[in-house]
Amino acid sequence: MTTDPSKLLTADIKLTTIDSLRSTTVIPFLRRTLDYMHAYPFIITISSEKGGVGKTTLATNLAIYLKAMREELPVTILSFDNHFTIDKMFELKGQKRSGDVHDMLLGAIASTVVHVGQYGVGYIPSSTELSDIHERFKGPMTLTRMLAESGISGIVIIDTRPDLNILTQNALYAADRVLIPVKDMPSLDNCRNIFSLFEQRGIDKKSLALIPCLVDERIKFEGVFKDQKTLLRAFAANRGYRCLDTYISKSPKVESLNTNPDGKIYPILTHARGTEVHGQFTELSRDILHSYDATPESRACLYYTWLAEKEGKKKESYLARLEGLADRCLICGALLAVQPEGRSFYYETSDRTARGFLHDSCFTDMLCASLYGMTSDSQAFGAARMVVADKAGKLVSLLLPKTAHNETTLDYRQFTTTGEQIFQKDVALDGFAEGTLEGINSRLYLLLNESLAGYEGRLRNGIWLAVHPVDPANPDAVLHEEHYRSLQRTQGLIGAAIA
């Protein structure tokens, strides 16, 4: 597999993975299974930070052309803008609205808010309330996941606002094709921000393409750049931006489609067939259909498959971690399956051969007795025990037995999870080597012996034991991916600190 587990931590921003998956096999079985379950959309995002460049006209009419050119292909459109052009154009008379873009972004299954509208195009009603979404939308791939999970198939077209907020970014990263309308130098200059977003995240820019829009055919220049579109193309090429061969001309007829006594917005296909723009939309749609056909696995599909696989791996390694645990509390010896309550500590040796849980009272009492010589009959025991418990519950305890001249001492330390040493104490382990420990030290003896003893009962040289506090309400959570990873980080820091 191409995905190195250590790189998965920042999973959501590892978008480059999608591109690497495209060229390799993503567990064919898994993919087939997912395919049976549902389809994935091919996503086209129309984006430009400039307003008035023709985004919405492009998005809405493209939807209509695609549907007209391939009747059986589901085409769905949605907009993150609040001008309701989509609704005006696609809403059927008297159609009841059940859910909108806002609901989808809050987690409603996208397919349930798709309305089949005019011209057979599916649309998700617009919303004016998207501003509160920006805070919820933290990850760049949230929308990709939502659309991948939606079960919507065919082509989804996303019309965006003239900005690069987190919603627009999500729409950009989700897209198999991003169309960036440019009509003049300022709009061309603005493209830089989209391209650099992709560069910053290390994502392949091949989905991005400029399309000259609102091109005034009457304007002619002297010299090489004979007209607007040639000039724009030349500048685009000069900056390394891919530009489509297709462009969209400026047409008074097209402009007039928005302005009607009945407040409707008419499509180019039905109301401006005689214009050049009609031919241009046909050409653009053909190009889009071609890349749709040439893409067996859309970005949404690849991302979702990758996520599912990652989840599967996580589950597998979690189960593997559960497998290796000791079945008893090493201090009291009780079977944890019988006495699972009160597991407040997780221990792991530096060589990871011994791992398991300890009861809260077992470990705390052991510390009180062995480290501080406290006995329950001493007067201040209750208060002192609370202090010991409090410290042990916040810090990671290190237990490192050292043998020199036939005498064993225990190097006991406490660390923060970031590896900062807070406390150190040497504890004499008289009789440890002979196994003749009695009384207060026997609990410590059991713990060390069970976890650190190797061949013929001798301590494994240089191996230490760390005891980490865990949430007693859900101790197993420490073995979950992220949690366990940070525990491992702490283990590493402790190892480095005592080296």
Ligand X SMILES: Nc1ncnc2c1ncn2[C@@H]1O[C@H](COP(=O)(O)OP(=O)(O)O)[C@@H](O)[C@H]1O
Interface residues with ligand X (CB under 6 A) are 51-57, 214, 248, 250-251, 254-255, 258, 277
Min dist. Cβ of residue 192 to ligand X (A):
18
C-alpha dihedral over 469, 475, 479, 481, to 10 degrees?
-100
Min dist. Cβ of residue 301 to Mg ion (A):
28
CA distance 215 to 53: 10
Question: Residue 61 or 397: which CB sits closer to Mg ion?
Answer: 61
Identify whether the C-beta of residue 209 lies closer than 8 Å to the C-beta of residue 243. yes
Q: Does 359 bind Zn ion (CB under 5 A)?
A: yes
Partner from Mg ion, Zn ion, ligand X, none binding residue 332, C-beta < 5-8 Å depending on class: Zn ion
Name the one range near Zn ion by CB under 5 A: 38-46, 108-116, 353-361, 435-443. 353-361
Question: Residue 167 or 330: which CB sits closer to Zn ion?
Answer: 330
Alpha carbons within 13 A on the beta-carbon side of 118:
21
Name the one range near Zn ion by CB under 5 A: 44-52, 65-73, 176-184, 323-331. 323-331
Question: Residue 233 or 359: which CB sits closer to Zn ion?
Answer: 359
Min dist. Cβ of residue 323 to ligand X (A):
56
Q: Does 47 bind Mg ion (CB under 5 A)?
A: no
Alpha carbons within 13 A on the beta-carbon side of 324:
15
Q: Does 362 bind Zn ion (CB under 5 A)?
A: yes
Question: Residue 65 or 345: which CB sits closer to Zn ion?
Answer: 345
Partner from Mg ion, Zn ion, ligand X, none binding residue 429, C-beta < 5-8 Å depending on class: none
Min dist. Cβ of residue 369 to Zn ion (A):
14
Min dist. Cβ of residue 55 to ligand X (A):
3
Q: Which residue is nearest to Mg ion (CB)?
A: 56
Quickly list H helices, 294-403.
299-323, 360-372, 381-394
Min dist. Cβ of residue 53 to Mg ion (A):
9
Residues forming a β-bridge with 76: 122, 156
Nearest to 210 by CA among 176, 171, 170, 237: 237
**N residues, the chain:** 499
The residues, ordered by sequence, that sit 6+ positions from 383 with a Cβ below 8 Å of its Cβ are: none
- What distances in angstroms separate CA 57 from CA 100, 119, 120, one per listed residue? 20, 16, 18
CA distance 325 to 470: 15
Q: Restricting to residues 51-70, name those near Mg ion by CB under 5 A.
A: 55-56
What burial class does residue 235 get, using C-beta atoms within 10 Å of its C-beta: 0-12 exposed, 13-18 middle, 19+ buried?
middle
Question: Residue 87 or 365: which CB sits closer to Zn ion?
Answer: 365
Min dist. Cβ of residue 362 to Zn ion (A):
3
- What distances in angstroms separate CA 467 from CA 149, 356, 360, 374, one per listed residue? 41, 10, 11, 20
Question: Residue 224 or 473: which CB sits closer to Zn ion?
Answer: 473
Tokens of 106: 């809050």
Q: Which residue in the block uniquely carries the two structure tokens 């086209």?
A: 44
Partner from Zn ion, Mg ion, ligand X, none binding residue 214, C-beta < 5-8 Å depending on class: ligand X
Min dist. Cβ of residue 55 to Mg ion (A):
5
Q: What is the DSSP letter of 429?
A: -
Question: Residue 181 or 212: which CB sits closer to Mg ion?
Answer: 181
Alpha carbons within 13 A on the beta-carbon side of 471:
8
Min dist. Cβ of residue 353 to Zn ion (A):
20
Partner from Zn ion, Mg ion, ligand X, none binding residue 359, C-beta < 5-8 Å depending on class: Zn ion
Question: Residue 103 or 159: which CB sits closer to ligand X?
Answer: 159
| Residues of this chain that bind Mg ion (CB under 5 A) | 55-56
Residues interacting with Zn ion, by CB under 5 A? 329, 331-332, 359, 362
